[in-house]
Chain A
Amino acid sequence: MLAFLIKRIGLLIPTFIGVTLISFFFIRLLPGDPVIALAGERGLSPERYAELMRNFGFDRPLYIQYLQYLWEVMQGNFGRSIATKQPVLREFWALFPATIELSVVAMIFAAGLGIPAGVFAAVKRGSWFDQSIMGAALVGYSMPIFWWGLLLIILFSGILQWTPVSGRISLMYFFPPVTGFMLIDSLLSGQSGAFRSALSHLILPVIVLGTIPLAVIARQTRSAMLEVLSEDYVRTARAKGLASFRVIGIHALRNALIPVVTTIGLQMGVLLAGAILTETIFSWPGIGKWLVDSVFKRDYPVVQGGLLLVAVVIMVVNLIVDLLYGLINPRVRAR
């Protein structure tokens, strides 16, 4: 297990270097630059433009800028946003917990509903239940997030008034962030009703963000289950007279989960992408919108630093998924 772990972690180093390269050069390939974006309609005289480019160090050769950036990153310095003049790391940590909270709860929602739905659909293959679940999954997968979010807001917040329109917690609760995770902070605050308010603010964004992963997980679980259910060992288990619940729940599902866990790991990346739109609709103060805005503003330090930090998180999640394989399937460990 230790050798497996070391090998996996060793693989992260070239990936890390690769991400710094891509995030650094990708944003510079786009036309325009942060100084022009900062000036807006007013424009800049060529002299002032040159002066500002020099101040920011953008006039130096790219490879020197890159090496400088890499050196700073190694020391934990991600630079300052050009637009807001705030340290990138400070902004990231202020926003990232919100994205993680939303993504994790959305994933729990997606897996919690998707896996049972997929299992039932497989077991009842061809039934009306199977067909309606798979039909709903197809619709869910094809749903434009922006439209879906607004639809839910208009229905549940506007017409029925069951849920709040947007934000993370009602404005009546006001406490300093401790962990940055609203569900935890609201409990820590000791203010009665705060946790409920935080939870109610999560409902719609979680549904919107979780819809696509839910559909993917349900379909993936169904097909993995179908494959496993036709295996000989399942037939043997049944022939032994094991209860149907044990055959499906333990013998079949455990093996069927391997590709599903992979899917869940990959869907975390999809969630972070979906978070950009979801965060915009629900005024959710996360990193999705922050990154997109900084691309438009050509805010180099934010784009390269933000992307790198997100990539590190995804790499860590993937590492955990790999390790989980080992737990679910001993063959992976042995290899």
Chain B
Amino acid sequence: MKTLKTLLAATALTLSLGSAASAKTLVYCSEGSPEGFDPGLYTAGTTFDASSKPVYNRLVEFERGTTNVVPGLAESWEVSEDGLVYTFHLRKGVKFQTTDFFTPTRDFNADDVIFSFDRQGNKENKFFAYAGDVTWGYYNDMSMPSLVKSFEKVDDNTVKMTLTTPNAPMIANLAMDFASIMSKEYADKLLADGTPEKLNQQPLGTGPFTFVGYQQDAVIRYKAFDQYWGGKQPIDDLVFAITQDAAVRLQKLKAGECQVASYPNPADIPALKSDDTLNVLEQPGLNVGYLAYNTTQAPFDKPEVRRALNMAINKQAILEAVYPGIGQIAKNPIPPTMWSYNDAVKDDTYDPDAAKKMLDEAGVKDLKMKVWAMPVARPYNPNARRMAELIQADFAKVGVGVEIVTYDWTQYLKLAGDPKHDGAVLAGWTGDNGDPDNFLAILLGCDGVGSGNKAAWCNKDYDALIKKASTISDQAERAKLYEQAQVIFKDQAPWATVAHSLVSLPMLKSVQNYKMDPLGSHRFDGVDITE
């Protein structure tokens, strides 16, 4: 603690440039380096934590600690009756940050909104290829090029977005990091100076914190933006101390070198919880770990075979071995914290005898199959190899021989996405925007076969339900359709749903008002520290 106090006092002196010595500095031990600072270019949470979350805002925002979409830079919006035209009324008097590298001369307006999206979809835009062979990951992944017909400026404070087809998840998409609003004035200046790449190195936005500096792979510094439209933050300085190893992050936290540390090792969590100086926040992650059968391959093309195999898996044993104290059994493809979760769905009961009988009835004898295990720990599955071994033992009890196969991670992703792969693959997903469509369509829709849909499962009834749900704007109505879709999913059993993991975040007790983000990001707006 002594170290921390010295550090806080000294940081205040060196950083706050003349402000009172009582400046509050929050040091966050983050798990990795941001790839860059333009959130449109990337898809990693670590990058968003360091760019879009502190520096930028979006038209709409996720309310802190929830997946509810609330007004951001757009104060309000209307959707036309046919669901095709969205009119956004922009907040007035919003300032861009003033930094060492740029002083804005005007407030935020419609030009900034148009620029922020145009550069991601319009090849003619000077910033479309400013960072080399750019893929604009999420803009494409969320199908923006095919969904959005146009963004138009109505006046300085009004923007009209026209869609090609009604799409209810669109509002949630606009709260995502890729939809961060950049300053067009700053971008134009960079272009005029011949240094467009600085847009990705020296970010400038309307968000709660102003970027101060980044030392690659070591430290990122921000200070609270005193003219932030949402009010100045309770802390004065925010520092990311990049610390890749989880055990070292823990040591730094204990030594008071940081107040919040990301992603603790699951094995360390019991000890962290018993430490008097720490709080450990926990929340069910917006994720799912599952086993996807290749439903195009015999005998997994028969739902009764898949159901029988699901009944042979002892999920409780897997939970205890692979997710000790950090998970819950999954029965649906979406996590229980997500709206439209169908709690009435009954999970498969663990019954090896019944499973064996069902397999016999389906004419399955001496089945030999492959189960694929990921070579890396993922948030939704900390130990796929162990999980595969347990499934192997379970299947052996019903007379099914399992060969566990694994590949290097990139190869695994490639082969598992190919509908011609052999057997069943362990896979998983962490949600992007809190919308059920982000799970149910990407992972199980017919359009996802060959990419996100690892089961290569294409069920017409299911697909019709989720497609229809995506075009309706009334959430209660959508929820009903998604609940029905989950019933079909359970009956058809393209996957064995295994578990949803818990996410933990340890911090010193002096950290106040931190709210865990169900989408997995780390946000420090609204956070305070006490002496």
Stretch at the interface among B226-234, B238-246, B324-332, B390-398: B238-246
Stretch at the interface among B184-192, B209-217, B457-465, B485-493: B209-217
Contacts of A170 in B (CB 8 A): 7, 10
Contacts of A164 in B (CB 8 A): 255, 257
A158: nearest residue on chain B (CB-CB)? B251
Chain B residues 249-290 with CB under 8 Å of chain A are 251-252, 254-255, 257
A83 and B410 in contact, given A153-B251, A171-B239, A172-B10 (Cβ under 8 angstroms): no
Contacts of A289 in B (CB 8 A): 217, 244
Contacts of A42 in B (CB 8 A): 141, 442, 451-452
- Central interface residue in A31, A84, A94, A165, by most chain B CB within 10 Å: A165
- Central interface residue in A36, A281, A282, A296, by most chain B CB within 10 Å: A36
What's the Cα separation between A282 and B252 when bound, in Å? 11
Determine if A39 is an interface residue (Cβ-Cβ < 8 Å). Answer: yes
Does B247 lie within 8 Å of A55, measured CB to CB?
Answer: no
Stretch at the interface among A4-12, A45-53, A132-140, A267-275: A45-53
**Chain B binding surface, main DSSP class:** mixed
What's the Cα separation between A280 and B243 when bound, in Å? 8
Chain B residues 103-126 with CB under 8 Å of chain A are none
Determine if B521 is an interface residue (Cβ-Cβ < 8 Å). Answer: no
Does A38 lie within 8 Å of B411, measured CB to CB?
Answer: no
What's the Cα separation between A241 and B409 when bound, in Å? 69
A171 and B41 in contact, given A41-B427, A285-B218, A285-B242 (Cβ under 8 angstroms): no
Chain A residues 25-60 with CB under 8 Å of chain B are 30-33, 36-46, 48, 52, 55-56
Determine if B428 is an interface residue (Cβ-Cβ < 8 Å). Answer: yes
Contacts of A91 in B (CB 8 A): 216
Contacts of A165 in B (CB 8 A): 248, 251-252, 255, 257
Residues of chain A at interface, number, CB under 8 A: 58
What's the Cα separation between A50 and B99 when bound, in Å? 41
Stretch at the interface among B59-67, B89-97, B128-136, B468-476: B128-136
Seen from chain B, the residues whose Cβ lies within 8 Å of a Cβ on chain A are 3, 6-7, 10-11, 13-15, 27, 35-36, 41, 43, 131-135, 137, 140-141, 200-201, 213, 215-219, 221, 239, 241-245, 247-248, 251-252, 254-255, 257, 378, 407-411, 413-414, 417, 427-430, 442, 448, 450-452, 454
Would you give 29 A-B contacts (Cβ < 8 Å), ordered by A?
A: A31-B414, A37-B409, A37-B413, A41-B378, A41-B428, A41-B430, A42-B451, A43-B417, A43-B448, A84-B35, A85-B41, A85-B200, A86-B35, A153-B251, A161-B255, A164-B255, A165-B248, A165-B252, A165-B257, A166-B251, A171-B11, A171-B257, A172-B14, A280-B244, A281-B248, A283-B245, A286-B217, A296-B409, A296-B410
